[in-house]
């Protein structure tokens, strides 16, 4: 399977959200990555369901929604109603992760779990068979434009082993500091989905940047 590119709207010009979404819609990117931050789980605050709902009519691309919020169970229905296709929660933010994953699926969305750079792959051992996606943070979440953490490669190798061992079909997504210099290596280490913020919207030609990440 060819890998998927998920441009992150966080890196777009917020005064021009419509054109950013339209650009992704017309591009070869298959998903749009939406970073929701609450100022508690991460130091930054971004946007929530109202913005997602507002841009939903602009594209049919998969809304890959990354919740960097505490106690995400409170908002599952709100994100479903806003038009999220896939809801990813952080392992570190969920006391009853199994229950949260089941609630996302019951709301008829795909369910993902994200791990911060310090969280071991082993924490997914008893949940990976239930997941549609695992999101590996290759920076500490909260901000775009950070430096890629090299330990991510060995983490991906261990995740691929665990996925096979547990018979899981979860896609593997990598988020943070992904761009032209490392995308091939990440795909070789098993990444199915690459999030790209600044390496797309921070360039003069985001459309060409997306195409380049698919080569
Ligand atoms: C970081 C977010 C990322 C971010 C990636 O907390 O989860 O999705 O937008 O941005 P870049 O690609 O610029 O590192
Ligand atoms: Zn993200």
CA 87–ligand 2 middle distance (angstroms): 11
Q: What is the pLDDT of residues 130-188, one digit of tens each?
A: 999 999 999 999 999 999 999 999 999 999 999 999 999 999 999 999 999 999 999 99
Paired tokens of 120: 């071991």
CA nearest ligand 1 atom 6, residue: 141
pTM given for the model: 0.98
Ligand 1 binding pocket includes 90 (Cβ within 6 Å):
no
Q: What is the pLDDT of residues 186-209, one digit of tens each?
A: 999 999 999 999 999 999 999 999
Rg of the Cα atoms in the chain? 16
Alpha-carbon distance of 63 to 158, in angstroms, equals: 27
- The overall longest dimension of the chain from CA atoms, in Å, is 46
């Amino acid at each position: 399977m060819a890998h998927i590119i998920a441009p992150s709207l966080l890196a777009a010009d917020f005064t021009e959200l419509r054109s950013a979404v339209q650009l992704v819609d017309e591009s070869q990117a298959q998903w749009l990555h939406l970073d929701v931050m609450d100022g508690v789980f991460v130091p930054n605050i971004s946007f929530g369901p109202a913005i997602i709902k507002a841009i939903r009519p602009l594209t049919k691309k998969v809304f890959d929604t990354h919740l960097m919020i505490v106690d995400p169970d409170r908002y599952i229905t709100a994100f479903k109603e806003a038009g999220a296709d896939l809801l990813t929660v952080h392992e570190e933010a969920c006391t009853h992760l199994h229950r949260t994953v089941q609630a996302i699926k019951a709301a008829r969305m795909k369910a993902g779990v994200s791990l911060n750079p310090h969280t071991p792959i082993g924490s997914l051992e008893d949940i990976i068979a239930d997941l549609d996606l695992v999101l590996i943070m290759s920076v500490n979440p909260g901000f775009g434009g950070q430096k890629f953490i090299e330990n991510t490669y060995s983490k991906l190798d261990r995740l691929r082993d665990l996925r096979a061992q547990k018979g899981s079909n979860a896609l593997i997504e990598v988020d943070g500091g992904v761009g032209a210099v490392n995308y091939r290596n990440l795909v070789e280490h098993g990444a199915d989905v690459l999030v790209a913020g600044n390496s797309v919207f921070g360039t003069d030609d985001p459309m060409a940047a997306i195409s380049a990440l698919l080569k």
